[in-house]
Amino acid sequence: MVRLGAAIFICVFAGSLVRELLTRAGGAHGAGVGFFLLAGAALLLLGAALFLVRKPWTFENLTARVLRLMICFYAAVVLGFCAEKLASKSVEPGAVQGMLVTTLSFQGSALVLIALFVRQHQARWNEAWGFSHHWPQALLFGVLVAFIFFPIGWGLQYVSLQFLQHVPPHPIQPEEQPAIHALRIAGSPVDRLALGAVTLLLAPPAEEMLFRGVLYPAIKQRGFPRLALWGTSLLFAAMHVQLDTFMPLFIFSVFLTVLYEKTDNLLAPITAHALFNGMGLLNLYLQQKQIGL
């Protein structure tokens, strides 16, 4: 599990560098040869770190592997920091492009790496997450949970927003989620289709496999069921990096974990998650139509 987490973290950092490269390459003023050389070298080092993570670890080679991994990763961090310093600050990243790169680097890499993780352990997806276990009931319960929680989630978000805006002595005005902002400003049908696809088809299975399918049972099987429930829910909410959605996402994660426990089929939380995201997209679309965007 540690290796899986390290691999996903490396991919996320690599995604941020790729996003920066695409942004600077498409900017009007560019960023200079030095930026691209440093960022490219950082990506190569991250690739080497990912290769080290993927190779088998044994007790005999553990120290050498960890040392090499740390050298590659931290050297990439230093080069990435230097590249950022050389980059032109006049270029702003495109919201749609940035959202796609960010999603693919986290949820996309998580999905691929989890598939490799399952394959290495000589297991099948049905065996690992019970996809064939009473799947009609699992889908039905997933739909019910999504429809039940959606108004609860929006109510919790409204309460959180009101609290943050009136908290003494320094009210906080939360920023719009990057995903929502990207969807709101997406001008072309292709952009909207791509963002809708990653929101509905990529993010839910990837996040559910990671949080409910891997992290939750791994912690629970080590004798910490309460930590598994509350810890993974806190991590799930914090991962979205948005103050006003932290509480509703935390409660939603608890709902999804209980749903997985009751159905013993990961299709149930995946369905609830995807449908919840879909209702959010539909609500956003209706709001845009109402104000004439």
- Per-residue DSSP letters for 59-83? TTTHHHHHHHHHHHHHHHHHHHHHH
What are the counts of helices (DSSP H) followed by strands (DSSP E) for the chain? 14, 0
Residue 193, judged by CB atoms within 10 A of its CB (0-12, 13-18, 19+), counts as exposed
User: How much is the pLDDT for 48?
Assistant: 84
Residues 6+ apart with CB under 8 A from 214: 1, 4, 114, 117
Q: Which structure tokens are listed for 32?
A: 């200079």
* SS3 at position 223: coil
Asked if 90 and 27 touch (Cβ cutoff 8 Å), the reply is yes
Q: HSE-up of 178 (CA within 13 Å, CB side)?
A: 14
Residues of the chain with pLDDT under 70: 1-6, 8-9, 12-13, 16-17, 19-32, 57-59, 62, 84, 86-102, 104-105, 116, 120-122, 167-188, 288-293
Asked if 257 and 231 touch (Cβ cutoff 8 Å), the reply is no
Q: Which residue has the tokens 């032109």?
A: 88
Report CA Rg, the chain: 21
Q: Which residue has the tokens 């320094």?
A: 170
Per-residue pLDDT tens digits for 238-262: 888 788 889 999 999 999 999 999 9
E strands in 180-256: none
Q: Which structure tokens are listed for 149?
A: 């929680």
User: How much is the pLDDT for 12?
Assistant: 67
Per-residue pLDDT tens digits for 77-124: 777 777 767 665 544 455 566 666 667 667 777 777 777 677 766 677
Q: Which residue has the tokens 């609290």?
A: 163
Q: Which structure tokens are listed for 278?
A: 């879909």
Q: HSE-up of 88 (CA within 13 Å, CB side)?
A: 17
Confidence (pTM)? 0.78
CA-CA-CA-CA torsion for 159, 164, 168, 171, nearest 10 degrees? -140
- Per-residue DSSP letters for 134-158? SHHHHHHHHHHHHHHHHHHHHHHHH
